[in-house]
Amino acid sequence: MSKKINKIVLAYSGGLDTSVILKWLQEQYQCEVVTFTADIGQGEEVEPARTKAKLLGIKEENIFIKDLKEEFVRDYVFPMFRANTLYEGEYLLGTSIARPLIAKHLVEIAKEVGADAISHGATGKGNDQVRFELGGYALMPDVKVVAPWREWDLNSREKLLAYAEKHGIPIEKKGKKSPYSMDANLLHISYEGGILEDPASEPEEDMWRWSVSPLDAPDAPERITIEFERGDAVGINGVKMSPATLLAELNRLGGKHGIGRLDLVENRYVGMKSRGCYETPGGTILLKAHRAIESLTLDREEAHLKDEMMPRYASLIYNGYWFSPERRALQALIDETQKNVTGSVGLKLYKGNVILAGRTSERSLFNTAYSTFEEDSVYNQKDAEGFIKLNALRFIIAGKANPS
């Protein structure tokens, strides 16, 4: 500990890990602890965290619980989806995109209460430590970050439980504990650990929480329409919805039809490979629909440029650079391309599949007069001869100079 910490804001879930961290911070740093619990749609009650914090000696004025679901989808998920973002071609970044939001509010609370440090429960093996801390330093350059998993020796569940028992930390027991490490928010739920640590093992069916198996999904497809304005989904089947409500409804619909399951071995920021499983039903539907409306409304070179930038943009989010100048610059460019991405997309949801069923837009660049295979009066097919010969010129010259 290089300097005295007077007050620290802890990202607090109320679970075993962060409850132990709370007590450990009080004990090791002899400082005042402020707790922050974010509701980002994880599907569990967050108010019990207040009771738990009080039991551990936290003053009422030092307990912060915020409903961030709308901000999460509006300001983080939707901007990411405007870029059609996928990490390593598959992962919809459900965990990655939530961390900068939590870091932002950790810092805001720290400034509000006059804290000089923030803390989190991410381990020294994973990516979340990077995301939380880069966000913290970007928004509060002089902040001190305390990462207990990099300092203490409580490196097993048994040691955590023993510490909890020794210090009178109540541990709720709700039946059989899941063998998986899970993270959930309104965009996705992830699973790691247990049998998933063997990439050869198939996930057990009872692991999945949000979706039925595609094999057990309804035998008839369900038709839906998603409406877009300037790149963001704004309604389903003609009903306008807030960002969080819309994503929650797409999760319900997608889960019902077995959509959005992913089994992935990914490359972590810290250098190791990690196997995880993910459920992202609403995001999977949204990505398909957004690409479909862009196919009508984006200029060819705009679309191609976006596709070239997307892997870099995805890596920036995955690696914790949400608040970086380069991510902001890319976002500005991406958002500029979305000014005409307005219209409706029809989809059929069927046994794990999202099937395109038509799209329409008043800003459509699709012009039947030019693209028809029937006789037209606007396109001179002879015009193609010139650009073909110009593009072939270097091949012709090279072929003459170096005959095979």
Q: Which H or E run includes 18?
A: helix 16-29
Strand partners, 274: 266
pLDDT band at 176 (very low <50, low <70, confident <90, very high): low
pLDDT of 351 reads: 98
pLDDT of 106 reads: 98
pLDDT band at 177 (very low <50, low <70, confident <90, very high): low
pLDDT of 175 reads: 53
End-to-end CA distance of the chain: 72
| Least confidently predicted of 98-112, 165-179, 379-393 | 165-179
- Spatial separation of the C-alpha atoms in residues 250 and 265, rounded to whole Å: 26
3-state secondary structure of 222: strand
- Spatial separation of the C-alpha atoms in residues 95 and 269, rounded to whole Å: 14
- Spatial separation of the C-alpha atoms in residues 13 and 47, rounded to whole Å: 10
The mean per-residue pLDDT over the stretch 115-119 comes to 97
336-364 residue pLDDT tens: 999 999 999 999 999 999 999 999 999 99
Does residue 52 have a pLDDT over 90?
yes
Q: What is the DSSP letter of 205?
A: G
Quickly list DSSP for 55-102: HTT--GGGEEEEE-HHHHIIIIIHHHHHTT--BTTTB--TTGGGHHHH
Cα distances (angstroms) measured from residue 18 to each of 29, 120, 159, 257, 322: 15, 8, 14, 35, 24
pLDDT of 69 reads: 98
pLDDT band at 212 (very low <50, low <70, confident <90, very high): very high
Q: Burial letters for 126-160: b for 16+ Cβ neighbours within 10 Å, e otherwise?
A: bbbbbbbbbbbebbbeebbbbbbbeeeebeeeeeb
Does residue 3 have a pLDDT over 80?
no
Tokens of 392: 């072939």
Cα distances (angstroms) measured from residue 14 to each of 53, 173, 219: 7, 13, 41
Beta carbons within 8 Å of 45's beta carbon, 6+ residues apart? none
| Least confidently predicted of 8-12, 41-45, 175-179, 186-190 | 175-179
pLDDT of 110 reads: 98
Q: Where are the alpha helices (DSSP H) in 298-344?
A: 300-318, 325-337
pLDDT of 246 reads: 98
- Spatial separation of the C-alpha atoms in residues 188 and 213, rounded to whole Å: 16
User: Which of 392, 89, 400, 107 shows the shortest CA–CA distance to 266?
Assistant: 89
pLDDT of 44 reads: 86
Cα distances (angstroms) measured from residue 162 to each of 53, 165, 260: 19, 5, 38
pLDDT of 2 reads: 53
Cα distances (angstroms) measured from residue 160 to each of 19, 167, 267: 10, 11, 28
Does residue 1 have a pLDDT over 50?
no
125-134 residue pLDDT tens: 889 999 999 9
pLDDT of 297 reads: 98
When computed from its CA atoms, the radius of gyration of the chain, rounded to whole angstroms, is 25
285 near 253, Cβ under 8 Å? Answer: yes
Looking at per-residue confidence, does 2 or 151 come out higher? 151
Q: What is the mean pLDDT of the chain?
A: 94
Catalytic residues: 17, 99, 128, 181
Task: Show the domains of the chain with their CATH numbers.
Answer: 7-69+96-166 (3.40.50.620), 181-298+340-360 (3.90.1260.10)
Percent of the chain with pLDDT over 70: 98
Q: Where are the alpha helices (DSSP H) in 92-167?
A: 99-113, 128-139, 157-166
User: Dihedrals φ, ψ of 63, to 5°?
Assistant: -110, 120
pLDDT of 373 reads: 83
The mean per-residue pLDDT over the stretch 25-43 comes to 95
- Spatial separation of the C-alpha atoms in residues 39 and 185, rounded to whole Å: 8
63-83 residue pLDDT tens: 999 999 999 999 999 999 999
Cα distances (angstroms) measured from residue 35 to each of 124, 141, 195, 284: 21, 21, 33, 33
